[in-house]
Structure 1
């Protein structure tokens, strides 16, 4: 007949298993935790963190307003570059009706 202690794992093996599970969880969660920590740091400090990427598309009524917005964004270092794309055809809802117009598009990128 087997002794009860012969069916138990050797001392310390549970600690090893838990340590391996903790390390595996940390490795698998690293991308999520890194993204969350970069977002949290940027939100709290208002400082852009290298390694986070953003692309923003903005439509403007004319080129002068697009240039003003682009300069303001670059002056505040909210983007590393802004492209002004002339004459974008836009369709949109305005007061319950579909409208069509020509606008200027800004594409801003942060790296």
Structure 2
């Protein structure tokens, strides 16, 4: 039987519309290894976990929230959870938030320019 983290990765894989083979390729692991992890026949190494969640566009926080069954989180939840992260992970979280904000600001600028024509 697969462990809860493998189930979370499988669910995200399915949400992304990826096959097992496609996710394995994105994560840089063999198809057979990923199949065994997803089926619960093989334990996942930390390096494989990192590669798989990155390929699924997830963070440790996403996995933790999914493990707790939290479908949505407000800013206070995220702030509280971020205090528990390692400093490097917290830095990555902040960088991701800034990148997302910049992407959205860029999209808004493009929309405004398109509407002005």
> Which TM class, normalised by the smaller chain length?
under 0.3
Higher strand share: 1
Higher helix share: 2
Higher relative contact order (CA 8 A, sep 6+): 1
Normalising by structure 2, we get a TM-score of: 0.24
Normalising by structure 1, we get a TM-score of: 0.25
